[in-house]
Amino acid sequence: MAGLPAAQAAWLRGSEFRAKAHELRLLPGPDGVAGAVLGLGEERGPQAFGSLAFALPEGDWALAPGDFDVPSAVLGFGLGAYRYRQFRAPKRAPARLVVGAGAGRAVSQVRAAWRVRDLINAPANLLGPAELAAAAVALASEHKAGWTLTEGADLEREYPTVAAVGRGSERAPVVAAFRWQGSAAGADAPLVALCGKGVCFDTGGYDLKPPGAMLRMKKDMGGAATALGLAQLIMDADLPVRLAVRIGCVENSVSGRAMRPLDVIRTRRGLAVEVGNTDAEGRLVLCDLLAEASDEKPALLVDCATLTGAARVAVGPDLPAYFTNDDGWAAALESAAAKHHDPVWRLPLWDGYDSWLDSPVADLNNVASKPMAGAIVAALFMRRFLAPGTSWLHFDLYAWNDSSRPGRPEGGEAQAMRAVCAAIEAKLAA
């Protein structure tokens, strides 16, 4: 208040402004609204600014100097300005924030988050495997990355588990992949491999989900969307790394061609998997991708998936659970998560549960013999397909906001993406 004209400071005092979090006051001027004051309370992260885009009147706004981090403010404003607009425009346009050089990478982060949210929010009748693959190709093309699509007989040979999951749908499965190299990255630059679970709709297959559990299954490609958003951040920042992205694009449906409980399927790694539950399809989509990616000896392999309800039981919707076999990457990730207000929570790769995946007829089952520790067992399943010595981060995401909060409108959400990018930059690109 000390820096405001006397009349405006008196207006704030008279309106009992207390600077509580998200408390907003418009400041009067001779021609109407002269500005606005936002209370931060104890908040200093992006969410503190997440309500501004629709709380401020329409028009252009700029940030005045204050006791806050400018990139966080820009990020929070941009995240809060998002609405899914494909079928219905918002009742009013958001206010616009004019930003300068001090915004850092916040604008890139907002754009990546909007891309992820748009993909997750798209209804499954409009975003099937082919459309998700096309979205990956579009991102690759924007950054002049070389891309490939693997489908049909080639998919059956190269990624047999992806083919098995997608066989029950009329919409054919496809693996979309692309490679990119930073402008300062040589042939021996660190390789970062990203894999995403892109199940565009999950009925559960023959182990059919009940209606309530199926209601949001258009978001079951949230891992693929997050992997694409992470790739966008890495490419926008032009990190000095090589990047390899693989997205398994499928639909898990019920038909005469769909995989059945107790089917045994071969994998790219050569392991035979007994299908204990057709609704545990995400780990099948990923295991072939992980096998191929890890064989290239990346400096880091990251997979993203909306994989288990058990992870949500353990840590709830806002905390992405992650698993890793590398404590150094865990430390880098958690430091980045705290710095960038992008929380994650580590769960253990508990070796004592590994035998729960034993099968009497195959090398392993895709589900445990016990009804506990579902997120851990899923991670242990996928670990079986890694090449020895691979540094691996596995994210079990919710990728959704159940209700609207500042900066987090109801619907699809990008989780852990900023933290992972920052950890990669700190550990590989410093």
Domain containing residue 87: 6-102
Q: How many domains does the chain have?
A: 2
Q: Are residues 216 and 89 in the same domain?
A: no
Give residue 318's pLDDT: 96
The answer to whether residues 230 and 177 belong to one domain is yes
* Whether 184 contacts 239, CB under 8 Å: no
**Quick one: which H or E segment has residue 251?**
strand 242-252
Asked whether residue 369 is domain-assigned, the answer is yes
For the question of residue 209 being annotated catalytic, the response is: yes
Residue 325 lies in a domain: yes
Q: What is the pLDDT of residue 41?
A: 87
Tell whether 340 and 243 lie within a shared domain.
Answer: yes
In a domain, 1, yes or no: no
Same domain (yes/no): 394, 347: yes
Report how far Cα 261 is from the mean position of its chain's Cα atoms.
Answer: 30
Q: Which of 167, 218, 268, 283 is catalytic?
A: 283
Would you state the pLDDT for residue 3?
A: 85
Angstrom distance (rounded) from CA 38 to CA 385: 51
Is residue 169 in some structural domain?
A: yes
Domain end (from 102, 122, 151): 102
Q: Which residues of the chain have pLDDT under 50?
A: none
pLDDT in tens, 400-416: 999 999 999 999 999 99
- What percent of the residues of the chain are helix, what percent strand, and what percent coil, each to the nearest 5? 40, 20, 45
Residue 245: beta bridge partners? 178, 194
Are 189 and 100 in contact by the 8 Å Cβ rule? The answer is: no
Task: Answer yes or no: is 78 within a domain.
Answer: yes
Q: Does residue 353 share a domain with residue 212?
A: yes
Annotate 117-178 with DSSP letters as a single string.
HHHHHS-TTTS-HHHHHHHHHHHHHHTT-EEEEE-HHHHHHH-HHHHHHHTTSSS--EEEEE
The yes-or-no answer on residue 218 being catalytic is no
d(CA 332, CA 337): 9
382 in a structural domain: yes
User: Residue 273 belongs to what H/E stretch?
Assistant: strand 272-274
Residue 324 sits in the same domain as residue 272 = yes
Domain boundary pick from 56, 79, 102: 102
Strand order in the sheet with 264-266: 264-266, 272-274, 364-365
Same domain (yes/no): 364, 238 = yes
pLDDT of residue 422: 98
Give pTM, 2 decimals.
0.97
Residue 186 lies in a domain: yes
Give the pLDDT score at 429: 75
Q: Which of 96, 209, 346, 405 is catalytic?
A: 209
What is the domain-level CATH number for residue 81? 3.40.220.10
Q: Return the exposure string of 41-65: e unless at least 16 CB atoms fall within 10 Å of the residue's CB, then b.
A: eebebbbbbbbbbbbbeeeebebee
Domain match, 261 and 392 both: yes
Are 242 and 146 in a shared domain? Answer: yes
Using CA atoms, how far residue 225 sits from 94, 220, 251, 382, 414, in Å, is 24, 10, 15, 20, 8
- pLDDT, residue 263, reads 98
Give yes or no: residues 83 and 136 share one domain: no
Q: Are residues 210 and 285 in the same domain?
A: yes
Picking from 82, 102, 122, the residue at the C-terminal end of a domain is: 102
Query: Does one domain contain both 117 and 65?
Result: no
Closest CA to 274 of 265, 283, 286, 287: 265
Report the CATH number at residue 224.
3.40.630.10
Q: Identify whether 343 is part of a domain.
A: yes
